Structure 1
Amino acid sequence: MLTVDYDLLDVGPGMRVLDLGCGEGRHAFEAFRRGASVLAIDWGASEVATTRTWLHAIAAAGEAPAGASAEVTRADLRALPVPDASVDRVIASEVLEHIADDRAAIAEIARVLKPGGRVAVTVPRYGPERVCWALSDEYHANEGGHIRIYRGDQLEERLAAAGLRPTRTHHAHALHAPYWWLKCAVGVDRDTRATRAYHRVLVWDLVHRPWATRTAERLLDPLIGKSLVVYAEKPGSTGD
Protein backbone atom coordinates (compact mmCIF):
# COMPACT_ATOMS: atom_id res chain seq x y z
CA MET A 1 0.00 0.00 0.00
CA LEU A 2 1.79 3.10 -1.25
CA THR A 3 1.06 6.58 0.06
CA VAL A 4 3.40 8.38 -2.35
CA ASP A 5 2.54 8.73 -6.03
CA TYR A 6 5.75 7.62 -7.77
CA ASP A 7 4.74 9.24 -11.04
CA LEU A 8 4.37 12.62 -9.30
CA LEU A 9 7.69 12.10 -7.52
CA ASP A 10 9.11 10.98 -10.88
CA VAL A 11 11.17 8.02 -9.67
CA GLY A 12 13.10 6.35 -12.48
CA PRO A 13 15.99 4.00 -13.28
CA GLY A 14 19.41 5.01 -12.04
CA MET A 15 18.18 7.53 -9.50
CA ARG A 16 19.55 7.55 -5.97
CA VAL A 17 16.46 7.25 -3.73
CA LEU A 18 16.46 7.61 0.03
CA ASP A 19 13.56 6.10 2.01
CA LEU A 20 13.55 7.63 5.49
CA GLY A 21 11.75 5.86 8.29
CA CYS A 22 11.29 2.98 5.88
CA GLY A 23 9.34 0.82 8.33
CA GLU A 24 8.96 -2.58 6.69
CA GLY A 25 10.03 -1.23 3.32
CA ARG A 26 6.90 -0.69 1.22
CA HIS A 27 8.16 2.48 -0.46
CA ALA A 28 11.71 1.17 -0.85
CA PHE A 29 10.37 -1.91 -2.65
CA GLU A 30 8.61 0.14 -5.32
CA ALA A 31 11.64 2.34 -5.95
CA PHE A 32 13.81 -0.78 -6.26
CA ARG A 33 11.37 -2.32 -8.75
CA ARG A 34 11.56 0.89 -10.78
CA GLY A 35 15.30 0.52 -11.17
CA ALA A 36 16.50 3.01 -8.58
CA SER A 37 19.53 2.77 -6.32
CA VAL A 38 17.76 2.69 -2.97
CA LEU A 39 18.99 3.39 0.54
CA ALA A 40 16.33 2.57 3.16
CA ILE A 41 16.88 3.94 6.66
CA ASP A 42 15.06 3.33 9.94
CA TRP A 43 15.92 3.53 13.63
CA GLY A 44 14.16 0.27 14.44
CA ALA A 45 16.38 -2.82 14.23
CA SER A 46 13.47 -5.15 13.42
CA GLU A 47 12.22 -2.84 10.66
CA VAL A 48 15.70 -2.73 9.13
CA ALA A 49 15.96 -6.52 9.25
CA THR A 50 12.53 -7.03 7.67
CA THR A 51 13.18 -4.53 4.90
CA ARG A 52 16.54 -6.11 4.12
CA THR A 53 14.98 -9.59 3.92
CA TRP A 54 12.26 -8.48 1.52
CA LEU A 55 14.64 -6.51 -0.70
CA HIS A 56 16.82 -9.61 -1.02
CA ALA A 57 13.70 -11.60 -1.92
CA ILE A 58 12.71 -9.09 -4.60
CA ALA A 59 16.20 -9.27 -6.09
CA ALA A 60 16.21 -13.08 -5.97
CA ALA A 61 12.83 -13.21 -7.71
CA GLY A 62 14.13 -11.04 -10.55
CA GLU A 63 11.59 -8.31 -9.86
CA ALA A 64 14.15 -5.50 -9.98
CA PRO A 65 15.70 -4.47 -13.32
CA ALA A 66 19.39 -4.69 -14.10
CA GLY A 67 21.28 -1.79 -12.55
CA ALA A 68 18.94 -1.41 -9.58
CA SER A 69 20.47 -1.73 -6.12
CA ALA A 70 19.28 -1.58 -2.54
CA GLU A 71 20.84 -1.08 0.88
CA VAL A 72 19.27 -0.89 4.33
CA THR A 73 20.83 0.70 7.40
CA ARG A 74 19.90 1.77 10.89
CA ALA A 75 20.42 5.48 11.49
CA ASP A 76 19.04 8.61 13.11
CA LEU A 77 17.06 10.69 10.62
CA ARG A 78 18.43 13.85 12.26
CA ALA A 79 22.01 12.86 11.31
CA LEU A 80 21.90 10.91 8.07
CA PRO A 81 24.98 8.91 6.99
CA VAL A 82 24.66 10.39 3.49
CA PRO A 83 26.90 12.98 1.75
CA ASP A 84 25.66 16.46 0.89
CA ALA A 85 23.75 16.84 -2.39
CA SER A 86 24.02 13.13 -3.28
CA VAL A 87 20.38 11.99 -3.53
CA ASP A 88 17.90 12.47 -6.38
CA ARG A 89 14.71 11.62 -4.49
CA VAL A 90 13.73 11.37 -0.82
CA ILE A 91 10.66 9.70 0.64
CA ALA A 92 9.71 10.41 4.27
CA SER A 93 6.41 8.62 4.79
CA GLU A 94 4.59 8.76 8.15
CA VAL A 95 7.75 9.46 10.11
CA LEU A 96 8.08 13.19 10.94
CA GLU A 97 5.17 13.03 13.40
CA HIS A 98 7.33 10.67 15.53
CA ILE A 99 10.41 12.93 15.69
CA ALA A 100 10.74 15.55 18.42
CA ASP A 101 13.15 17.72 16.40
CA ASP A 102 11.40 17.46 13.05
CA ARG A 103 13.13 20.60 11.80
CA ALA A 104 16.50 18.85 12.12
CA ALA A 105 15.17 15.91 10.09
CA ILE A 106 13.81 18.25 7.40
CA ALA A 107 17.14 20.10 7.30
CA GLU A 108 18.86 16.75 6.70
CA ILE A 109 16.51 16.05 3.80
CA ALA A 110 17.44 19.39 2.26
CA ARG A 111 21.13 18.75 2.86
CA VAL A 112 21.31 15.36 1.12
CA LEU A 113 19.12 16.28 -1.86
CA LYS A 114 20.83 17.32 -5.06
CA PRO A 115 19.82 20.69 -6.52
CA GLY A 116 16.72 19.92 -8.56
CA GLY A 117 15.99 16.86 -6.42
CA ARG A 118 12.53 16.08 -5.08
CA VAL A 119 11.05 14.89 -1.80
CA ALA A 120 7.67 13.43 -0.88
CA VAL A 121 6.69 13.85 2.77
CA THR A 122 3.58 12.17 4.15
CA VAL A 123 2.04 12.72 7.59
CA PRO A 124 -1.32 11.95 9.16
CA ARG A 125 -3.88 14.49 7.98
CA TYR A 126 -5.02 17.02 10.58
CA GLY A 127 -8.78 16.29 10.67
CA PRO A 128 -8.76 12.47 10.80
CA GLU A 129 -5.82 12.52 13.20
CA ARG A 130 -7.59 14.90 15.59
CA VAL A 131 -10.50 12.45 15.74
CA CYS A 132 -8.12 9.61 16.66
CA TRP A 133 -6.47 11.69 19.40
CA ALA A 134 -9.85 12.72 20.80
CA LEU A 135 -11.04 9.11 20.95
CA SER A 136 -7.92 7.50 22.38
CA ASP A 137 -4.78 8.54 24.25
CA GLU A 138 -3.47 5.02 23.67
CA TYR A 139 -3.40 5.70 19.92
CA HIS A 140 -0.63 8.30 20.16
CA ALA A 141 0.64 8.69 23.74
CA ASN A 142 3.08 5.80 23.82
CA GLU A 143 6.78 5.19 23.24
CA GLY A 144 7.50 5.98 19.61
CA GLY A 145 4.00 7.34 19.09
CA HIS A 146 2.78 10.47 17.34
CA ILE A 147 3.89 13.60 19.17
CA ARG A 148 2.26 16.23 16.94
CA ILE A 149 -0.48 16.77 14.40
CA TYR A 150 0.48 18.81 11.34
CA ARG A 151 -1.66 21.28 9.55
CA GLY A 152 -0.88 21.31 5.85
CA ASP A 153 0.35 24.89 5.83
CA GLN A 154 2.58 24.21 8.84
CA LEU A 155 4.32 21.32 7.11
CA GLU A 156 4.81 23.34 3.93
CA GLU A 157 6.25 26.23 5.96
CA ARG A 158 8.77 23.91 7.64
CA LEU A 159 9.86 22.50 4.29
CA ALA A 160 10.22 26.03 2.88
CA ALA A 161 12.22 27.15 5.93
CA ALA A 162 14.75 24.40 5.12
CA GLY A 163 15.14 25.71 1.58
CA LEU A 164 12.72 23.36 -0.17
CA ARG A 165 9.95 24.54 -2.48
CA PRO A 166 6.58 22.81 -2.00
CA THR A 167 5.01 22.05 -5.38
CA ARG A 168 1.79 20.10 -4.84
CA THR A 169 -0.22 18.10 -2.33
CA HIS A 170 -2.86 15.38 -2.21
CA HIS A 171 -4.50 13.07 0.32
CA ALA A 172 -4.55 9.27 0.51
CA HIS A 173 -6.12 6.28 2.27
CA ALA A 174 -9.63 7.57 2.95
CA LEU A 175 -10.87 4.02 3.63
CA HIS A 176 -8.36 3.71 6.46
CA ALA A 177 -9.59 6.73 8.43
CA PRO A 178 -12.87 5.12 9.65
CA TYR A 179 -10.96 1.94 10.50
CA TRP A 180 -8.71 3.85 12.88
CA TRP A 181 -11.62 5.79 14.32
CA LEU A 182 -13.25 2.45 15.08
CA LYS A 183 -10.03 1.09 16.59
CA CYS A 184 -9.66 4.16 18.78
CA ALA A 185 -13.29 3.99 19.89
CA VAL A 186 -13.19 0.33 20.99
CA GLY A 187 -9.56 0.26 22.15
CA VAL A 188 -6.48 0.25 19.94
CA ASP A 189 -5.32 -3.14 21.20
CA ARG A 190 -8.76 -4.76 21.32
CA ASP A 191 -9.56 -7.33 18.65
CA THR A 192 -13.32 -7.07 18.09
CA ARG A 193 -15.62 -8.55 15.49
CA ALA A 194 -16.13 -5.12 13.95
CA THR A 195 -12.43 -4.30 13.68
CA ARG A 196 -11.66 -7.75 12.26
CA ALA A 197 -14.37 -7.37 9.64
CA TYR A 198 -13.16 -3.91 8.62
CA HIS A 199 -9.58 -5.14 8.46
CA ARG A 200 -10.61 -7.99 6.15
CA VAL A 201 -12.17 -5.42 3.81
CA LEU A 202 -8.95 -3.39 3.75
CA VAL A 203 -6.85 -6.49 3.01
CA TRP A 204 -9.29 -7.56 0.28
CA ASP A 205 -9.06 -4.09 -1.25
CA LEU A 206 -5.25 -4.16 -1.10
CA VAL A 207 -5.04 -7.54 -2.80
CA HIS A 208 -7.76 -7.22 -5.44
CA ARG A 209 -7.96 -3.43 -6.03
CA PRO A 210 -11.62 -3.63 -7.15
CA TRP A 211 -13.17 -0.79 -9.11
CA ALA A 212 -15.78 -0.01 -6.46
CA THR A 213 -13.41 0.58 -3.55
CA ARG A 214 -10.81 2.32 -5.71
CA THR A 215 -13.48 4.73 -6.95
CA ALA A 216 -14.85 5.27 -3.45
CA GLU A 217 -11.41 6.05 -2.07
CA ARG A 218 -10.58 8.42 -4.91
CA LEU A 219 -13.79 10.37 -4.22
CA LEU A 220 -13.33 10.34 -0.44
CA ASP A 221 -9.61 11.15 -0.30
CA PRO A 222 -10.12 14.94 -0.55
CA LEU A 223 -12.60 14.74 2.34
CA ILE A 224 -11.24 12.20 4.83
CA GLY A 225 -8.00 10.85 3.34
CA LYS A 226 -5.96 9.78 6.38
CA SER A 227 -2.60 10.89 4.96
CA LEU A 228 -1.42 14.24 3.65
CA VAL A 229 1.27 14.04 0.96
CA VAL A 230 3.42 17.09 0.21
CA TYR A 231 5.89 17.15 -2.70
CA ALA A 232 8.75 19.62 -2.73
CA GLU A 233 11.87 20.42 -4.75
CA LYS A 234 15.32 21.66 -3.88
CA PRO A 235 15.94 24.70 -6.10
CA GLY A 236 18.74 24.46 -8.63
CA SER A 237 19.95 22.40 -11.57
CA THR A 238 19.69 18.62 -11.78
CA GLY A 239 23.22 18.38 -13.16
CA ASP A 240 25.53 15.96 -11.35
Structure 2
Amino acid sequence: MPESVNFDRIADRYDDTRGGQGRGHAVATQIDPYLPDGRLLEIGVGTGLIAAAFTSLGREIIGIDLSARMLAYAARRVPGRIVRADASAIPLPDASVDACAAIHVLHLVADTPAVLGDVARVLRPGGRLAVVGGGSPDAVSDTGHIMETMSARLDTYRLRAARAQPEAVIETAERHGLRLVERFSIVREEGTATPEQAAAEIEARLWSRLWDLPDDIWASVVEPTIEQLRRLPDQDRPRPAVFHSPVLIFEATGAVPARHTR
Protein backbone atom coordinates (compact mmCIF):
# COMPACT_ATOMS: atom_id res chain seq x y z
CA MET A 1 0.00 0.00 0.00
CA PRO A 2 1.40 3.45 -0.87
CA GLU A 3 2.27 5.80 1.99
CA SER A 4 0.32 8.92 2.88
CA VAL A 5 1.56 11.98 1.00
CA ASN A 6 3.93 14.24 2.96
CA PHE A 7 3.88 17.89 1.84
CA ASP A 8 7.31 18.92 3.19
CA ARG A 9 8.62 19.72 -0.29
CA ILE A 10 5.87 22.21 -1.10
CA ALA A 11 5.54 23.90 2.31
CA ASP A 12 7.25 27.15 1.29
CA ARG A 13 5.00 27.55 -1.77
CA TYR A 14 1.79 25.98 -0.50
CA ASP A 15 -0.13 29.11 0.52
CA ASP A 16 0.64 30.92 -2.73
CA THR A 17 -0.42 27.99 -4.92
CA ARG A 18 -3.52 26.70 -3.08
CA GLY A 19 -5.70 29.78 -2.74
CA GLY A 20 -4.26 31.41 0.38
CA GLN A 21 -6.19 32.86 3.30
CA GLY A 22 -9.22 33.77 1.22
CA ARG A 23 -9.91 30.19 0.24
CA GLY A 24 -9.27 28.95 3.78
CA HIS A 25 -11.76 31.42 5.22
CA ALA A 26 -14.37 30.59 2.58
CA VAL A 27 -14.21 26.86 3.34
CA ALA A 28 -14.30 27.30 7.13
CA THR A 29 -17.27 29.67 7.12
CA GLN A 30 -19.31 27.40 4.87
CA ILE A 31 -18.90 24.21 6.89
CA ASP A 32 -18.79 25.73 10.39
CA PRO A 33 -22.61 25.98 10.77
CA TYR A 34 -22.93 22.21 10.27
CA LEU A 35 -20.57 21.35 13.14
CA PRO A 36 -21.39 21.33 16.87
CA ASP A 37 -19.75 23.80 19.24
CA GLY A 38 -16.68 22.70 21.13
CA ARG A 39 -13.28 21.27 20.32
CA LEU A 40 -12.53 20.77 16.62
CA LEU A 41 -9.80 18.52 15.23
CA GLU A 42 -8.51 19.21 11.73
CA ILE A 43 -6.65 16.30 10.14
CA GLY A 44 -4.20 17.34 7.44
CA VAL A 45 -4.03 20.84 8.93
CA GLY A 46 -1.16 21.81 6.61
CA THR A 47 -0.03 25.42 7.03
CA GLY A 48 -3.03 26.20 9.21
CA LEU A 49 -4.96 28.43 6.81
CA ILE A 50 -8.31 26.78 7.51
CA ALA A 51 -7.52 26.17 11.20
CA ALA A 52 -6.82 29.89 11.63
CA ALA A 53 -10.15 30.69 9.99
CA PHE A 54 -11.93 28.34 12.40
CA THR A 55 -10.12 30.02 15.30
CA SER A 56 -11.36 33.41 14.10
CA LEU A 57 -14.88 31.97 14.31
CA GLY A 58 -14.33 31.26 18.01
CA ARG A 59 -13.46 27.57 17.85
CA GLU A 60 -10.90 25.67 19.93
CA ILE A 61 -8.71 23.92 17.33
CA ILE A 62 -6.34 20.98 17.36
CA GLY A 63 -4.49 20.27 14.11
CA ILE A 64 -2.45 17.25 13.01
CA ASP A 65 -0.35 16.68 9.91
CA LEU A 66 2.52 14.47 8.73
CA SER A 67 4.61 17.36 7.40
CA ALA A 68 6.92 19.03 9.90
CA ARG A 69 7.61 21.89 7.48
CA MET A 70 3.91 22.58 6.89
CA LEU A 71 3.31 22.47 10.64
CA ALA A 72 6.01 25.10 11.20
CA TYR A 73 3.70 27.55 9.41
CA ALA A 74 0.60 26.25 11.16
CA ALA A 75 2.20 26.65 14.58
CA ARG A 76 2.55 30.39 13.94
CA ARG A 77 -1.09 30.70 12.92
CA VAL A 78 -2.54 28.47 15.64
CA PRO A 79 0.14 28.41 18.37
CA GLY A 80 0.13 25.59 20.88
CA ARG A 81 -2.54 23.57 19.10
CA ILE A 82 -0.57 21.70 16.43
CA VAL A 83 0.81 18.14 16.60
CA ARG A 84 2.75 16.06 14.10
CA ALA A 85 0.84 12.78 13.71
CA ASP A 86 -0.65 10.33 11.24
CA ALA A 87 -4.43 10.63 10.87
CA SER A 88 -4.76 6.86 11.26
CA ALA A 89 -3.16 7.08 14.72
CA ILE A 90 -4.54 10.28 16.24
CA PRO A 91 -2.82 11.02 19.58
CA LEU A 92 -6.04 11.87 21.44
CA PRO A 93 -8.25 9.92 23.87
CA ASP A 94 -11.49 8.27 22.83
CA ALA A 95 -14.53 10.58 22.54
CA SER A 96 -12.39 13.67 23.20
CA VAL A 97 -13.42 16.02 20.37
CA ASP A 98 -16.77 17.47 19.35
CA ALA A 99 -16.05 17.90 15.65
CA CYS A 100 -13.50 16.98 13.01
CA ALA A 101 -12.67 18.43 9.59
CA ALA A 102 -10.94 16.57 6.75
CA ILE A 103 -10.56 19.12 3.96
CA HIS A 104 -8.99 18.10 0.66
CA VAL A 105 -7.08 15.35 2.47
CA LEU A 106 -8.67 11.90 2.10
CA HIS A 107 -7.24 11.43 -1.40
CA LEU A 108 -3.76 11.84 0.14
CA VAL A 109 -3.91 9.24 2.91
CA ALA A 110 -2.62 5.69 2.56
CA ASP A 111 -5.47 3.96 4.40
CA THR A 112 -8.83 5.75 4.25
CA PRO A 113 -10.69 3.16 6.40
CA ALA A 114 -8.06 3.43 9.14
CA VAL A 115 -8.31 7.22 9.14
CA LEU A 116 -12.10 7.25 9.31
CA GLY A 117 -12.00 4.58 12.01
CA ASP A 118 -9.70 6.64 14.20
CA VAL A 119 -11.74 9.79 13.60
CA ALA A 120 -14.82 7.86 14.77
CA ARG A 121 -12.89 6.83 17.88
CA VAL A 122 -11.95 10.37 18.95
CA LEU A 123 -15.37 11.89 18.18
CA ARG A 124 -17.86 11.96 21.02
CA PRO A 125 -21.27 10.41 20.34
CA GLY A 126 -23.21 13.05 18.42
CA GLY A 127 -19.99 14.70 17.27
CA ARG A 128 -19.63 15.49 13.60
CA LEU A 129 -17.09 15.04 10.82
CA ALA A 130 -16.95 17.34 7.77
CA VAL A 131 -15.26 15.87 4.69
CA VAL A 132 -14.52 18.24 1.81
CA GLY A 133 -13.37 16.69 -1.45
CA GLY A 134 -11.62 18.01 -4.51
CA GLY A 135 -13.55 20.25 -6.84
CA SER A 136 -14.94 19.46 -10.27
CA PRO A 137 -15.72 22.21 -12.81
CA ASP A 138 -19.09 22.93 -14.40
CA ALA A 139 -17.46 22.61 -17.80
CA VAL A 140 -14.04 21.22 -18.65
CA SER A 141 -11.86 23.54 -20.73
CA ASP A 142 -9.30 22.37 -23.27
CA THR A 143 -6.59 22.87 -20.63
CA GLY A 144 -8.61 21.02 -17.99
CA HIS A 145 -9.34 18.12 -20.32
CA ILE A 146 -5.64 17.58 -21.03
CA MET A 147 -4.73 17.70 -17.33
CA GLU A 148 -7.58 15.36 -16.34
CA THR A 149 -6.46 12.88 -18.98
CA MET A 150 -2.94 12.95 -17.54
CA SER A 151 -4.21 12.37 -13.99
CA ALA A 152 -6.37 9.46 -15.11
CA ARG A 153 -3.28 7.74 -16.48
CA LEU A 154 -1.32 8.02 -13.22
CA ASP A 155 -2.11 4.78 -11.38
CA THR A 156 -1.35 5.84 -7.80
CA TYR A 157 -3.32 9.07 -8.13
CA ARG A 158 -6.25 7.27 -9.73
CA LEU A 159 -6.45 4.71 -6.93
CA ARG A 160 -6.25 7.35 -4.21
CA ALA A 161 -8.88 9.49 -5.91
CA ALA A 162 -11.24 6.51 -6.19
CA ARG A 163 -11.04 5.85 -2.44
CA ALA A 164 -11.88 9.51 -1.75
CA GLN A 165 -14.97 9.66 -3.99
CA PRO A 166 -18.09 10.60 -1.98
CA GLU A 167 -19.87 7.25 -2.33
CA ALA A 168 -16.75 5.34 -1.26
CA VAL A 169 -16.25 7.65 1.74
CA ILE A 170 -19.92 7.29 2.76
CA GLU A 171 -19.73 3.50 2.63
CA THR A 172 -16.51 3.38 4.65
CA ALA A 173 -17.69 5.94 7.19
CA GLU A 174 -20.91 4.07 7.85
CA ARG A 175 -18.94 0.92 8.70
CA HIS A 176 -17.32 2.93 11.50
CA GLY A 177 -20.55 4.30 12.94
CA LEU A 178 -20.45 7.63 11.12
CA ARG A 179 -23.91 8.41 9.70
CA LEU A 180 -24.32 10.83 6.79
CA VAL A 181 -26.57 13.73 7.85
CA GLU A 182 -25.85 16.48 5.29
CA ARG A 183 -24.54 16.61 1.75
CA PHE A 184 -23.91 19.73 -0.34
CA SER A 185 -21.26 21.49 -2.44
CA ILE A 186 -19.00 24.47 -1.94
CA VAL A 187 -19.02 26.56 -5.11
CA ARG A 188 -16.13 28.80 -6.09
CA GLU A 189 -15.13 30.69 -9.19
CA GLU A 190 -11.52 30.55 -10.35
CA GLY A 191 -9.58 32.22 -13.11
CA THR A 192 -7.73 29.01 -13.84
CA ALA A 193 -4.27 28.92 -15.33
CA THR A 194 -3.45 29.65 -18.92
CA PRO A 195 -2.11 26.71 -20.95
CA GLU A 196 1.42 28.10 -20.57
CA GLN A 197 1.02 28.43 -16.79
CA ALA A 198 -0.43 24.92 -16.53
CA ALA A 199 2.53 23.52 -18.45
CA ALA A 200 4.98 25.40 -16.21
CA GLU A 201 3.24 24.15 -13.05
CA ILE A 202 3.51 20.57 -14.28
CA GLU A 203 7.19 21.00 -15.11
CA ALA A 204 7.74 22.36 -11.59
CA ARG A 205 5.91 19.30 -10.14
CA LEU A 206 3.66 21.64 -8.19
CA TRP A 207 0.94 19.03 -7.62
CA SER A 208 1.38 15.98 -5.38
CA ARG A 209 0.26 13.56 -8.10
CA LEU A 210 3.48 14.42 -9.97
CA TRP A 211 5.87 13.77 -7.11
CA ASP A 212 8.16 10.74 -7.19
CA LEU A 213 7.01 9.49 -10.57
CA PRO A 214 9.36 6.98 -12.23
CA ASP A 215 11.30 8.37 -15.18
CA ASP A 216 9.44 6.17 -17.67
CA ILE A 217 6.02 7.40 -16.47
CA TRP A 218 7.22 11.00 -16.62
CA ALA A 219 8.43 10.48 -20.18
CA SER A 220 5.38 8.57 -21.41
CA VAL A 221 2.58 10.44 -19.62
CA VAL A 222 3.73 13.82 -18.32
CA GLU A 223 5.99 15.10 -21.08
CA PRO A 224 3.33 14.52 -23.80
CA THR A 225 0.86 16.42 -21.59
CA ILE A 226 3.19 19.42 -21.42
CA GLU A 227 3.58 19.32 -25.19
CA GLN A 228 -0.20 19.18 -25.72
CA LEU A 229 -0.72 22.15 -23.43
CA ARG A 230 1.85 24.20 -25.30
CA ARG A 231 0.19 23.43 -28.63
CA LEU A 232 -3.15 24.87 -27.52
CA PRO A 233 -4.27 28.19 -29.02
CA ASP A 234 -4.42 31.38 -26.93
CA GLN A 235 -1.54 30.41 -24.68
CA ASP A 236 -1.95 33.51 -22.49
CA ARG A 237 -5.74 33.30 -22.05
CA PRO A 238 -6.94 31.99 -18.66
CA ARG A 239 -9.65 29.34 -18.69
CA PRO A 240 -12.05 30.49 -15.92
CA ALA A 241 -14.29 27.89 -14.35
CA VAL A 242 -16.85 27.38 -11.60
CA PHE A 243 -15.81 24.53 -9.29
CA HIS A 244 -18.02 22.42 -7.03
CA SER A 245 -16.34 20.72 -4.05
CA PRO A 246 -18.45 17.97 -2.46
CA VAL A 247 -19.07 18.27 1.29
CA LEU A 248 -20.19 15.34 3.43
CA ILE A 249 -21.26 15.85 7.05
CA PHE A 250 -21.29 12.75 9.25
CA GLU A 251 -22.51 12.27 12.81
CA ALA A 252 -20.93 9.82 15.23
CA THR A 253 -23.61 7.38 16.37
CA GLY A 254 -21.56 5.82 19.15
CA ALA A 255 -22.33 2.41 17.61
CA VAL A 256 -18.67 1.46 17.24
CA PRO A 257 -17.01 0.47 20.54
CA ALA A 258 -14.06 2.60 21.62
CA ARG A 259 -10.86 0.70 20.90
CA HIS A 260 -8.15 2.32 22.96
CA THR A 261 -6.83 5.54 24.48
CA ARG A 262 -3.51 7.04 23.40
The residue matched to 1:48 in structure 2 has which SS? helix
Matched, 1:135 2:158: no
Matching residue of 2:199:
186
Residue number among 115, 121, 137 corresponding to 1:105 in the alignment: 115
Matching residue's letter, 1:235? T
Bigger radius of gyration among the two: 2
The residue matched to 2:201 in structure 1 has which SS? coil
CA distance in 1, matches of 2:188, 2:103: 16
Residue number among 229, 232, 235 corresponding to 2:247 in the alignment: 229
Matching residue's letter, 1:43? L
Contact 2:36 2:128 in 1 (8 A): no
Structure 1 unmatched ranges of 5 or more: 57-69, 202-216
Deviations 1:93-152 (A, max 9, x none): 11110112110000011000000101101122467899576333499778x998223432
CA distance in 2, matches of 1:154, 1:132: 26
Structure 2 unmatched ranges of 5 or more: 1-22, 205-229, 255-262
Matching residue's letter, 1:112? V
CA distance in 2, matches of 1:232, 1:46: 30
Q: What is the aligned length?
A: 197
Contact 1:98 1:147 in 2 (8 A): yes
Classify 1:121/1:140 alpha carbon distance in 2 versus 1 (closer, same or farther; 3 Å).
farther
Deviations 1:163-191 (A, max 9, x none): 10111112224424x72795896353359
Q: Which runs of 4+ in 1 moved over 6 A?
A: 126-130, 138-142, 194-197
Residue number among 81, 91, 100 corresponding to 1:90 in the alignment: 100
Matching residue's letter, 2:185? H
The residue matched to 2:95 in structure 1 has which SS? coil
Residue number among 35, 44, 48 corresponding to 1:10 in the alignment: 35
Contact 2:129 2:249 in 1 (8 A): yes
Root-mean-square deviation (CA, aligned residues, Å) is: 3.8
Percent sequence identity over aligned pairs = 24
**Deviation of 1:197 (Å):** 7.5
CA distance in 1, matches of 2:236, 2:77: 26
CA distance in 2, matches of 1:35, 1:139: 43
Classify 1:34/1:185 alpha carbon distance in 2 versus 1 (closer, same or farther; 3 Å).
closer
CA distance in 2, matches of 1:36, 1:172: 21
Matching residue's letter, 1:165? R
Contact 1:139 1:188 in 2 (8 A): no
